[in-house]
Amino acid sequence: MTIYRNITANKKRSEDEQAKELLECYLYSNECKNDRYSSMDLISNMVRAEPDERRTAHNLKSHPMFWDADRKMKFVKAVRFVLDEEKKQNSKTIEDALESVASNVFIDWINEVEKIPNIGIDLANHIRTNNHLNMNKHYGDNSTKLTYLLKMIRNYKEHKNNKIKLGDGITIFTEQFPKLIIEVYKVMAKFKTNEELKEELEEFYLKD
């Protein structure tokens, strides 16, 4: 958020100058490097060829690049709520849209979880073998599905395991899956104007 305030403080600067500063942030600042894919999406929004399609500094604060851990978790929970509601309607439109970008985020998410420093192997084994919440049935057989990674993150946050320290419950996963939030964000943007979903999603998107 510090980067956002610094970039937008001087309203006299052009959008091109602001975009250039964001690019420099992406290249040289640890704050931006920690979420490089969101940074690049933000920059691409600011330098589109058509002026009407560009995002301005005024409405960038709600972009995922500036989200803290609590907001990222809130977004994951909102997406899972939308998916659960969709399932009740016997529809898979949003689920299919999310799964279409799964390969951009991981090949097998449980195998990727194993690589998390210090706790990865224990966490992956817990996911594969623990019968609580039918984890083995739901997760072990769906380790190539993005929607199940989101479900796992939400469930481990809501049903904490004291033996596995996950910190705030989201950062450990966004560091291991750096494209996760931005890929889900871009997919869900297609549904943000849906009247049935608007209440859950609109707070996470750029204000036009």
Question: Residue 193: CA atoms inside 13 Å, Cβ hemisphere, count?
Answer: 4
Q: Read off the amino acid at residue 61.
A: K
DSSP state at residue 169 = S
- The 10 Å Cβ neighbour count of residue 13 is 15
Residue showing tokens 């330098």: 47
What is the C-alpha separation between 138 and 92, in angstroms, rounded?
Answer: 17
Report the C-alpha dihedral over residues 137, 143, 146, 149, rounded to 10 degrees.
70
Q: Which residue has the higher pLDDT, 194 or 108?
A: 108
pLDDT beyond 50 at 155: yes
In order of their start, the domains of the chain are 2-63 (no CATH), 69-204 (1.20.1440.180)
Report the C-alpha dihedral over residues 118, 120, 125, 127, rounded to 10 degrees.
130
What is the C-alpha separation between 56 and 74, in angstroms, rounded?
Answer: 25
4 pLDDT band (50/70/90 cuts)? Answer: very low
Mind listing the pLDDT tens digit for each residue in 32-81?
555 677 877 877 777 777 777 666 666 677 788 888 899 999 999 999 99
Helix ranges (H only) for the chain are 2-8, 15-28, 30-33, 36-46, 69-88, 93-99, 102-105, 109-113, 120-129, 135, 146-158, 171-176, 180-188, 198-201
The reported pLDDT for the residue numbered 46 is: 72
pTM confidence score:
0.80
CA proximity to 42, closest of 68, 69, 14, 15 = 15
Tokens of 149: 């990674």
The reported pLDDT for the residue numbered 29 is: 56
